[in-house]
Chain A
Amino acid sequence: ETGVTQTPRHLVMGMTNKKSLKCEQHLGHNAMYWYKQSAKKPLELMFVYSLEERVENNSVPSRFSPECPNSSHLFLHLHTLQPEDSALYLCASSQDPGTYEQYFGPGTRLTVT
């Protein structure tokens, strides 16, 4: 995909590791989002950024730390995760926070061992 890209596509990490997920959007959008998708569960909105400022943090544990250095890039820093954090992490963007249509990346499949 050239719209929203995510790296890595797969990640296996131990509970004591520190890793980061990267998202980049090539659409000129101003809003970016992190979602978590666990097996048999709905997508859960984690963080929302608008023009590099965090506008929403949906009660996400502090072991997940987002960073948005500019409107095209979004990171999710991970540390001391738990096995239940294993999931597909999806990044999305939209023109503005109030624009309804969201464009999703392919996701990073995270396994915590």
Chain B
Amino acid sequence: SQKIEQNSEALNIQEGKTATLTCNYTNYSPAYLQWYRQDPGRGPVFLLLIRENEKEKRKERLKVTFDTTLKQSLFHITASQPADSATYLCALDLRGNNNDMRFGAGTRLTVKP
């Protein structure tokens, strides 16, 4: 069956360090992968999208990699800040048209001052 797994339920790091979150998937061949941020009591907010033919994507302090051979995406936050504390979700669309979006369970990141 198809699965999306985010490496850990929770990750605690010190301010200023780089946070690295992992998203693994099985039995998919997604055309692209997305990362969202969700704060408590709020809906997810879109952060980045990376396509299957892209190895890496950057946006300010965020970096995403996509390895279709390993079936894995890594999400990095450099120079992390307490305001980065949130749950981060990865998402795949099985059909490439948003009609079959699958989300991982999320990793709750806490950045300590």
Contacts and interface: CB of A to CB of B under 8 A. Distances in A.
Interface string B63-78: 0000000000000000
Given A102-B46, A107-B42, A107-B43, A97 B102 contact: no
A33 B98 CA distance: 9
Nearest to B51: A100
User: How many of chain A's residues touch chain B, expressed as a range?
Assistant: 20 to 34
Contact of A42 (B96, B99, B102): B102
Nearest to A56: B99
User: How many of chain B's residues touch chain A, expressed as a range?
Assistant: 20 to 34
A52 B25 CA distance: 32
Given A90-B43, A100-B32, A42 B98 contact: no
Contacts of B45: 104
A45 B100 contact: yes
Contact of A100 (B34, B100, B104): B34
A56 B49 CA distance: 23
A48 B44 CA distance: 17
Contact of B106 (A42, A92, A101): A42
Interface of A: 4, 31, 33, 40-45, 48, 55-56, 58, 90-92, 94, 97-107
